[in-house]
A and B are shown apart, each in its own frame.
Chain A
């Protein structure tokens, strides 16, 4: 599998004046996977993806995409990659279908973009001017433009930023669909939930360095963090009856609210059985799993929000 890296980044460095945006990072992206660059704003995600796209010239290290150097061999590379950029736009009065028609014509091979319109839910707005599109429609159009020449690698930079939760879910399905077509996807996001749902592997960036690299599940597991169960109870819960369960490590009771900490996947079953066995009624029962958010917190000592301020 290691031989099938379609993107190789080795000791990449990029400096803007006094700021080192990317500080000697290395990773590889395998063919067919969804690879995420995650971290707070300013961590170096966009700089990294733009070095892969050839939009930025690295100050050090090596970037290889499909065996090509994005700087020197951009002409050969550009037809084989498609991208959506964080800060870009189209002409205000350009219509959706005209944008697709134009971008398709810029590539050597001609692609039928009509099905793309349907697939991305843009068929109804095909005559709408770019400026009149909603945020979600604009993002979907940019995805369509990234796919219009049937590229091997699709690079998406903060695709869901600015979208409402519903729009975000729609885009997630779309990304999963793109992967099904056998394409490799590299994306950046500062939404940890998005990375957990979508990415096969992630590189967690902080201040230009990779602080963790692996599948979201593995990173969370390595954290060794406890899961939590939270529920509301009537007064008089015998703390010991829950605390003594094998999978439970700690129980907090704050007023009506009980928080049970523990490890194994059996914890939920054990707790539910213990409660109903003892005849306690409980409601608002939910579990809280550790997330990539916790991974970031553990590795950097700061939450994602604090990371942004740093």
Chain B
């Protein structure tokens, strides 16, 4: 157990030493906020049901951080650990493979959460962010969304033969999703037919559930999202465990 804590601590320190990771997790969402907030402000608007641009977008930007962590960070670093022989070396120790995975997930989960928190604080201070939901509901939606996407990140790492391939696959999944899932461009801005197609993107359901929770809607109104994300989480974990390789 002491080893697991130490491993998490080391992972956290390593995260802090990768400026790119810190930028995309912590700084980039703030840039989104100030860009869109600067252009549109956060005045109540009938188009957004009486809310402001920032109010309805925070959930999407949070999903953006989740997607970055899952498909850009986790998928690549998990594959790189395997490819470089870091896992091989750890395998000689009494550490279990689950602990290695758990440490990576835990640190990234906390960092992603931190990214969301910074975003919310800045939006509150600068744009008077409105919040009608329950913090617990938002935290739950965040946890389900993040963990289900992380499990897909591990699936990418597990199936990709090299870190390079994992990076390419991660990007191929990442870019369509951030633009088509409502994470960056509101779904309301899309034509009717497209709005049905984008439902096949996993991130669309993260955005939907997070936005619902943020606006104070009950989970009962979002059973589809909850079911899809829970299903992805279970399948993702199973495939990750099945495809986990020490080398």
Residue ranges of A at the interface with B (Cβ–Cβ < 8 Å) = 53, 55, 75, 78-79, 81-83, 85, 87-91, 93-94, 98, 101-103, 105-108, 142, 145
The reply to whether B91 and A91 form a contact with Cβ atoms under 8 Å apart is no
Please give, as numbers and ranges, the residues of chain A lying within 8 Å of B88 by CB-CB distance: 55, 85, 87-88
Interface size class of B (residues with CB under 8 A): 20 to 34
B residues 46-88 in Cβ contact with A at 8 Å: 81, 84-86, 88
A98:B10 contact, CB within 8 angstroms? yes
Q: How far is the CA of A89 from the CA of B83 in the complex (A)?
A: 9
Contact status A105-B92, CB under 8 Å: no
Contacts of A108 in B (CB 8 A): 94
Min Cβ gap A83→B in Å is: 5
Cβ of B45 within 8 Å of any chain A Cβ, yes or no, is no
A residues near B18, Cβ cutoff 8 Å: 93
Assess the B13–A78 pair: CB atoms within 8 A.
no
Q: A85-B89, A87-B247, A106-B94 are in contact. List 13 more A-B contacts (CB 8 A).
A: A85-B92, A88-B85, A88-B86, A88-B88, A88-B89, A89-B85, A89-B86, A90-B89, A91-B86, A103-B93, A105-B2, A106-B7, A145-B89
A75, B94: Cβ atoms closer than 8 Å: yes
Expressed in whole angstroms, the Cα–Cα distance for A53 and B93 within the complex equals 10
**How far does the Cβ of B13 sit from chain A's closest Cβ, in whole Å?**
7
- Is B14 at the interface (CB under 8 A from chain A)? yes
> Which listed residue, B13, B92, B94, B95, touches A55 by the CB 8 Å rule?
B92
A82 to B92: give the CA distance in the assembly, Å.
Answer: 7
Would you list which residues of chain B between 15 and 46 have a CB under 8 Å from chain A?
A: 17-18
Q: A94-B10, A105-B3 are in contact. Are A89 and B92 (CB under 8 A)?
A: no
Q: Which residues of B lie under 8 Å from residue A102 when comparing CB positions? A: 3, 6-7, 10
Which residue from A78, A85, A91 sits with its C-beta under 8 Å from B94?
Answer: A78
Task: Report which B residues bind A (CB closer than 8 A).
Answer: 2-3, 5-7, 10, 13-14, 17-18, 81, 84-86, 88-95, 246-247
B2 — which chain A residues lie within 8 A by C-beta?
Answer: 105
Which of A83, A102, A108: most chain B CB closer than 10 A?
A102
A101 touches B91 (CB 8 A): no
Q: Are A79 and B91 in contact (CB under 8 A)?
A: no
Docked-complex contact B85 and A78, CB < 8 angstroms: no
Q: Which of B13, B17, B93, B247 contacts A106 (CB 8 A)?
A: B93
A83 touching B14 by the CB < 8 A rule? Answer: no
Which residue of chain B has its CB nearest to the CB of A91? Answer: B14
- Chain A residue at minimal CB-CB distance from B99: A106
Residue on A nearest B11 in the bound complex, by CB? A91
Most chain B CB inside 10 Å of its own CB: which residue of A81, A93, A142: A93
Contacts of B247 in A (CB 8 A): 87
A78 and B7 contact, CB distance less than 8 A: no
Complex alpha-carbon distance, A106 and B8, angstroms: 12
Residues of B within 8 A of A88 (CB): 85-86, 88-89
Complex CA distance for A209 and B17, rounded to whole angstroms? 47
Residues in A with CB closer than 8 Å to B5 are 105
Cα A158 to Cα B157 in complex, Å, equals: 29
- State A166–B18 Cα separation when bound (angstroms): 35
B68 to chain A, nearest CB (A): 20
Minimum distance in angstroms from A138 CB to a CB of chain B: 11
Q: A93-B17, A94-B10 are in contact. Are A106 and B95 (CB under 8 A)?
A: yes
